[in-house]
Amino acid sequence: MHHFEYHDGRLCAEGVDIGAIVEAVGTPVYIYSSATIERHFEVFRALLGPKAHVFYAMKANANLGVLATLARLGAGADVVSEGEIRKAMAAGVPAERIVFSGVGKTEAELAHAVGVGVYQINIESEGELEALSRVASRLGKTQNAVFRVNPDIGAGGHAKITTGSSANKFGVSFDEATRLYARGSNLPGVRIVGLAVHIGSQILAFEGMAEAFRKMRGLVETLRGEGHRVERLDLGGGVGVPYEIPVPFVQGPDAIERYAAMVHAVMDGLDIELGFEPGRVIVANAGILVTRALYINQRADRQFLIVDAAMNDLVRPAMYEAYHEIWPVNEPAPDAPRIAYDVVGPVCESGDTFTTGRQLPEVRPGDLIAFQSAGAYGATMSSTYNLRPLVAEVLVRGKAFSVTRPRQTYEELIGLDRLPDWLA
């Protein structure tokens, strides 16, 4: 569910006309709905139960306004860098609700995490275990940590977002988990309290997840049988969202319900603290990217619709062949003629293509269109490629909107560089 609908012929975000936002901010611009973010988080938390710990995976969308909205609901944060730790805390997420994941944490990052007192560090290799022990001991601290285990069960909507296969870089191998757990339990500076798993992203059929979770439950029972303390099991994230509308049942809005039912069935009777790291499922459908049509380039066999957004603003179609619904900001008539467009951006890459042969109501230069379901892995993956300033971001609540990240100016963009002394 989302809160982007037509009212009196105009696309609105909650109670705000998209055109009014564009008039104030320009294009391209990301627009997020507070009501959608809040609803998705509350539904997820309610279905997983009052004892579940929910750590929002902020790599999906690290906008300060989005983070603060979730922090006020009691969400924790799943982070993968020191920068994300700092931004989560700046948004109001306390350190004791932060989980630090990632395969390549530096000792400086580990020191920062230990120093501020994060809830948990997810260890992903034996070398990282040793580094954490060394850093925490030097600081005179004991840090709660779990081992992220690779169950050799991968899933996800694309090969690049599948993380649970033995061919992927994430986690310690399942076969090594018991040895490492015993070793970690005897190292100074580290308190090993459990396990973690995450097998991929944009998962809409949960058989693979269920298999991985059953495997993790068995590992918990094995470790406990060997006398180890196993208090926490972090089940990661990965629940997918419907990008196409309409969608078949498997991609319907009941995905969270089916996921929760699966978790409860697999974990029934296991006395353990469960953690979850949803990202995309909270924010994807809470955001749109609005862009303006610039030109129509007519060819013999196709029409290129050139817009002012580009792959540096929304890279998912170029990187993952991802699909996004495209809606005109002015509501088309039901019988409006439809034309096949290749929707492309201004970047000097043939890969700067959002879609090919998409049937859309006729679009003219100057018209506004919106890429739907762009709230996850949109702005957070944006860049300044071709020296295009970072895209603006806006958060809506009811009838009010606020610019939460101003569009980068050219002075700010160029000012990041420094000339060497010999060229100054």
Q: Give the span between the Cα atoms of 267 and 361, in whole angstroms.
A: 48
Spell out the residues 6+ positions from residue 289 whose beta carbon is closer than 8 angstroms to its own. 28, 29, 30, 31, 309, 313, 314, 370, 371, 374, 378, 391
Q: Is 348 part of the annotated catalytic residue set?
A: yes
Taking every pair of Cα atoms in the chain, the longest distance, rounded to a whole number of angstroms, is 72
Find out whether 237 and 56 touch, Cβ atoms under 8 Å.
no
Unique residue bearing structure tokens 């980068």: 408
Terminal alpha carbon distance of the chain: 54
- Copy the structure tokens of residue 249: 């049942």
Tokens 């339990």 -> residue: 185
Give the active site residue among 248, 268, 333, 348.
348
Residue 134 burial by CB count (10 A; 0-12/13-18/19+): exposed, middle or buried? Answer: middle
Burial class (CB in 10 A: 0-12, 13-18, 19+), 357: exposed
Catalytic residues: 348
